[in-house]
Chain A
Amino acid sequence: MVEITDVVCPLCGCVCDDIVVEVEDNRVTKVRGACAVGKSKLMGHGRIKSPAIRENGALKECSYDEAIKKAAEILAAARRPLLYGWSSTVCEATKVGVELAEEIGAVIDNTASVCHGPSVLAIQDVGLPSCTLGEVKNRASLIIYWGSNPTSAHGNHMKRYSYISKGYFLPGGKKDRKLVVVDVRETKTAKMADKFLRVEPGKDYLVFSALRAILYGNEDVVPDEVGGVSKNDLLEVASMMKETQFGIIFFGMGVTHSRGRHNNIVNAIQTTRAAHTHTKFNIMPMRGHYNVAGFNQVCTWETGFPFAVDLSLGYPWYNPGETSSTDLLIRRECDAALLIATDPGAHFPGESIRHLANIPVIQIDPFANPTTEFADVVIPTAISGVESEGSIYRMDNIPLRLRKLVDTEYMSDEAVMERILEEVRAIKAKEGE
């Protein structure tokens, strides 16, 4: 039995990195310090046994080589291929993905398109006053979760980084902090709050505008009720914001996906800036997957743009709403897709899935999911963070490195991508002759 400490968890954007794991007979047998979902990922579960190619409606097992060659054929022939996913794999694989997208003239995109893409759009409008999670832990005496329920989606968030954590300037932890929750219903997190504001669905935008007016000293124009929230409650929260020494707003899908979408986030950031005229105030998106941020980082430094990058003209064109995966698929624009480290079946609108089922699809993933039901080529890979190491970025953009805990016969995502790129180049060289 081998004990491995400081294991980096490959599940959610918290990227807890103090996990302790016991490995016996090349298997993870015990996990300490992770939340339930993290533990499940590290211990592993049922996965795709072998590469396969669909023939006559059924998946037929084959070698890695055959599957990779078939994938390369599909991609090289496509006129509008899409390379989508990336959020649950490492940056090294993403880099090859960007290179491949450039080589074949594809659109490359990640789950931000269905998740925090709106946050990125907002940042491109007004910027993002933010910080690393350790700043929250050490300094934040006012914590606001807006449209976010960490007790369910980010198990260790409050304990490691926010409300319940103990920090340099806040050694009393919870006792030294105040928690405000804004949501459309009273969630488990809301029940812990010092102040809970229930906002009517779709009305967050109005509440932000009202708070801004108050923070800028124009409370006289604000009506008695905004979006289901009383003016008194707004005034109270605004006071809490003004009086804290360091405040933070964490926000999630509750605002990125309700009416207004990215403009809700613009407004949330504008509210933060208004609060900043009084005191230190930051804001942070609660990124979902453990390396969704990492894809955005790599894509940005390599192409200049963070996601939904259309390289079909040989240079990058970025325009979410046009080049984002869901839009491309709903409009039936793509004639081939590579889906890696993602489960579109879980996140995409039905219309997108229907189109995916009608075009050649290559799936690269350790685990079977609804996509496997219709994928034409299936390539199982090593589990990053368990069976292979690599570079990732936490939700606050801190870069960390996943560890390899056990050996495996599976190829890594990076290795599969390299091989596909190699085969595509060989096909194109032949065509050129």
Chain B
Amino acid sequence: MVEELLIKNGVVYDPINGVKGEKKDICIRDGKIVEEVKNPKVIDAEGRVVMPGGVDIHAHIAGGKVNSGRLFRPEDGRKGIEPKTKVCRAQSGYSVPNTFATGYRYARMGYTFVMEPAMPPIAARHTHEELIDTPILDNAALPLIDNNWMTMEYVKSGDIDLLAAYIAWMIKATKGYGVKIVNPGGTEAWAWAKNCELNDAVPYFDVTPAEIVKSLAEANERFEMPHSIHVHGNMLGHPGNYVVTMKTFDLVKGTKPYRDRPVLHGTHTQFHSYGGTTWGDFESQAKAIAEYINSNEHASIDIGSVILGDTTTMTADGPMEYSLYQITGRKWTNHDVELETGTGITPFLYSGKVSVHTIQWAIGQELALLIKDPWKVALTTDHPNAGPFIGYPILISMLMNKRRRDESAEEMHSAIFDRAELPSIDREYDFYEIAIITRAMAAKTLGLAEHGKGHLGVGADGDVAIYDITPEERDDAGKIQKAFLNAKYTIKGGEIVVKDGEVVAAPQGKTFFVTPECDEKLMDEMMAKLKDTFEHYYSVSFANYPVQDAYVPNPYEIRAPWRS
């Protein structure tokens, strides 16, 4: 690795430090951004756009369901084949790429951090093994803690402190980063082939999803957690669900976050912004959701925007995946996970000829364009649910260019003109705002900015993306798409990993995880119940459950003390 690096003549967009397209030198030494360097290798950016390395707040890239997706789709595997090179392992896959392709392709897009958003706790080792095999990217994973029996039991009894002890133990045991919630209550009900709406009682456990969300938000804020609860709400994918979405966000309006960040992050909100009552009168309600986000400060979102084409849906929302398979008749994998969560996986083809898909395609972009403050928005496709991450450059070009949106709309179903807002929106993102929604916002919302991610201030990680485009070319949608797909340079921890769109080095990334700190007596009380659960109901023993150090060879620990 080169010790000192100087990037000169770049036009820098560093939103966290308020840098809005200034010509500025970036200096790196020993992997960190520094004020100045003495004898550096020099990269002349020649007026190109320079941003911090991309930070993806939500993409399913590692773990049991991702691998089930790969395993059952050899027909996806045989797309995107690239032979091995001196630096790179062989690559395969399009919507479910192999782990090597995942790392290389993200790096080529200038990304240097990805959050795996849904880790079944009992299978956390699997997620970590895959992250180890994902080159270049720094990473973290969010354990699912909402359909867990002990969560529901503490929610029922109202013991928020004990619930906090439980989530602390879970996050530690799984080397996880925070609290993930997916179809709360509903995935437990799915183990009986049932589902739950926001105020339905979960069979046997007799708590509602609303109570689960509220309690987990409170438990999360017992600690100095870097991230808020991360929520995939109930009724995902159902026409009319936008009402549920706003009700879900409302649940935690009164909960105080430990510092200046949202108390809830609503994920892949496109899937939760549906109007109408059936697929027949289906329409976009992104406007309502955007208005809600505009007038509230306690929630952030990521868009989960659709990329047209074939993809693979995979979530812990078992019942939703089942209904999707019932609609399409395609292959379907399900995996109920004892005492904790579940999984559903089925392929899906988003077609511009279908009215519903066209409206879905519009909704994701509408959210980004109608929400005024880009600091509340992250760009995602809920990879691979709404589309593969390799489609991000298409979205970037759409958000930056109305003409491109209009041209695309012409090729799609006419429903976009009367059941969606997109054609009537003129707004265009600029590079600064794109930098916010593809890196700065995520770093801030995840609490990673102070740990070196998502910005180029002194002390930050030397993670830089140089895109082959200048600010003057901001109206060239085709060039934007091309530029963001294959970076001119990607620098990771001060090392050049991508040059002219090719991977030239593949170092291993670090895994960030959080260690919540909890009162011992509280922990002991929770542990007694936990051990009893293991003894009687789990099929693995307590001692074999926590993730061993061997699974996190490059750890970065963030402590989360109990708030006094």
A304 touches B539 (CB 8 A): no
User: Does A135 count as interface, using CB distance less than 8 angstroms?
Assistant: yes
User: Does B541 count as interface, using CB distance less than 8 angstroms?
Assistant: yes
User: Does A160 count as interface, using CB distance less than 8 angstroms?
Assistant: yes
Q: Which residues of B contact A236 (CB under 8 A)?
A: none
User: Does B364 count as interface, using CB distance less than 8 angstroms?
Assistant: no
Give the most central of A125, A126, A129, A401: most B CB within 10 Å: A129
Interface residues of A (CB under 8 A from B): 5-6, 8, 17-18, 91, 95, 99, 102, 120, 123-135, 137-139, 160-161, 166-169, 245-246, 273, 276, 279-280, 282, 296-298, 300-306, 311, 313-318, 389, 391, 393, 397-401
Closest partner residue, chain B, to A105 (CB atom): B84
Given A102-B89, A302-B133, A128-B77 contact (CB < 8 Å): no
What does the 1/0 interface line of B531-559 toward A look like (CB < 8 Å)?
A: 00000111111111000101100000000
B539 touches A160 (CB 8 A): yes
B98 touches A301 (CB 8 A): yes
Q: How far is the CA of A393 from the CA of B539 in the complex (A)?
A: 14
Q: How far is the CA of A314 from the CA of B325 in the complex (A)?
A: 35
A123 touches B333 (CB 8 A): yes
User: Does B83 count as interface, using CB distance less than 8 angstroms?
Assistant: yes
Interface residues of B in 320-337 (CB under 8 A from A): 322, 325, 331-337
Q: How far is the CA of A304 from the CA of B96 in the complex (A)?
A: 8
Among candidates B89, B122, B335, B550, residue contacting A130 with C-beta atoms closer than 8 Å: B335
Q: Which residues of A contact B336 (CB under 8 A)?
A: 130-132, 135, 282
Q: How far is the CA of A135 from the CA of B335 in the complex (A)?
A: 10
Closest partner residue, chain B, to A171 (CB atom): B536
Given A127-B332, A134-B539, A303-B98, A399-B126 contact (CB < 8 Å): yes
Q: How far is the CA of A296 from the CA of B543 in the complex (A)?
A: 26
Interface residues of B (CB under 8 A from A): 62, 64, 66-68, 70-74, 77-78, 81-84, 89-93, 96-100, 122-123, 125-126, 129-130, 133, 149, 191-193, 204, 322, 325, 331-339, 345-346, 536-544, 548, 550-551
Given A17-B541, A134-B338, A245-B192, A124-B74 contact (CB < 8 Å): yes
Q: How far is the CA of A106 from the CA of B99 in the complex (A)?
A: 20
Q: How far is the CA of A282 from the CA of B133 in the complex (A)?
A: 31
A246 touches B192 (CB 8 A): yes
Q: Which residues of A contact B122 (CB under 8 A)?
A: 132, 398
Q: List 7 A-B contacts (CB under 8 A).
A: A102-B90, A127-B332, A129-B332, A137-B537, A139-B192, A300-B71, A306-B71
Q: How far is the CA of A129 from the CA of B326 in the complex (A)?
A: 13
Q: Which residues of B contact A301 (CB under 8 A)?
A: 62, 66-67, 70, 98-99, 129-130, 133
Q: Which residues of B contact A393 (CB under 8 A)?
A: 126
Q: How far is the CA of A304 from the CA of B312 in the complex (A)?
A: 14
In the A-B complex, the 9 residue pairs with the smallest Cβ-Cβ separation, listed nearest first, are A134-B338, A304-B92, A304-B77, A134-B539, A314-B83, A131-B336, A127-B331, A399-B125, A6-B543
Q: Which residues of A contact B543 (CB under 8 A)?
A: 5-6
Q: Which residues of A contact B550 (CB under 8 A)?
A: 389, 391, 401
Given A127-B346, A304-B98, A315-B82, A398-B335 contact (CB < 8 Å): no
A314 touches B191 (CB 8 A): no
Q: How far is the CA of A245 from the CA of B204 in the complex (A)?
A: 13
A273 touches B332 (CB 8 A): yes
Q: How far is the CA of A149 from the CA of B245 in the complex (A)?
A: 49
B338 touches A303 (CB 8 A): no
Q: How far is the CA of A303 from the CA of B102 in the complex (A)?
A: 12
Q: Which residues of A contact B82 (CB under 8 A)?
A: 315
Given A123-B71, A304-B97, A397-B64, A315-B92 contact (CB < 8 Å): yes
Among candidates B66, B100, B123, B193, residue contacting A398 with C-beta atoms closer than 8 Å: B123
What is the minimal beta-carbon distance from A115 to any residue of chain B, in angstroms? 16
B67 touches A128 (CB 8 A): no
Q: Which residues of A contact B70 (CB under 8 A)?
A: 300-301, 304-305
What is the minimal beta-carbon distance from B399 to any residue of chain A, in angstroms? 31
User: Told that A139-B192, A300-B98 touch, could you supply 19 new A-B pairs with CB distance under 8 A?
Assistant: A99-B89, A102-B90, A123-B72, A123-B333, A127-B72, A127-B331, A129-B334, A130-B334, A132-B335, A133-B539, A134-B537, A137-B338, A160-B539, A276-B193, A279-B193, A304-B92, A305-B70, A316-B90, A401-B550
